[in-house]
Amino acid sequence: MRYTGKAALVTGGSRGIGAAVVKRLAQEGLKVAFFYRQRMDKVEELLEWARDAQLTVVPIKVDITDPRSLLSAITDAKANVGPIDYLVNNAGVSHYKLLTEEEERELEEVLRTNLESVILLTREIAKGMVIRSFGSIVNISSIWGLYGGSCEAVYAATKGGIISFTRSLAKELGPSNVRVNCVAPGVVRTDMMLNHFTEEEIAQLCQRIPLGRLAHPEEVASAVAFLLSDEASYISGSVLEVSGGFIS
């Protein structure tokens, strides 16, 4: 196993891409703590899967937009799985509407969830990585962060910010043997995506994807696992598109 004896923390880990990442990393031998906010039914499904597979998966409920709660959750994660060697910033929200229709609370939710919490969490986890001179971080962005997305301007802005944050932090942490990379998924079949688009709209999106279909969460998880691993030991500051060749 590539990660035996080490620990990972995944945000937004109860469903979709996050759940796929939790499963993949646990299967690779990692002790995995994951943050979630709601959907206890999905958490129970994940825990049942882990018990059946005899793998270590620890859920921690937290509102990552609340700095105090986030710091407390970090402490809980370390207490349960040990020092965090691998971090996956996956949690994200979006409101599919025109900017002129966005309410203040919606803007704050997207900014705090998708960008501010990532910066705060990474700052805290990176402290231990620097001390140990070891660590790998993967931030989940989006193709909208690269190319922009109509009716998701704020979401796209946060995901673009994640890309800049990744590249900048890779320069800061590289001398401490800590790698930082980014995965930019295309259109993935997740609850968030299916809640935003009709089947007709999904079919139209698929016409812009040379592979002709949506991504599966597990395909994104494979990219994350690769970038975290020693197989990517000389890759840092990179943005890996998992988009099926999406045409902007």
**Catalytic amino acids?**
155
Phi/psi for 58 (5° steps) reads -125, 115
Where is 35: in which H helix or E strand? strand 31-36
Alpha helices in the chain (DSSP H): 16-27, 40-53, 67-81, 104-111, 117-132, 143-147, 153-173, 191-196, 199-206, 217-228
Nearest to 217 by CA among 1, 21, 8, 3: 21
| Cβ atoms of residues 104 and 27 within 8 Å | no
Where is 101: in which H helix or E strand? none
Where is 33: in which H helix or E strand? strand 31-36
Structure tokens at 124: 């805290």
Determine how many CB atoms are found less than 10 A away from the CB of residue 203: 10
State the pairing for strand pair 178-185/239-242: parallel
Encode 108-161 in three state secondary structure.
Answer: HHHHHHHHHHHHHHHHHHHHHHHHHCCEEEEEECCHHHHHCCCCCHHHHHHHHH
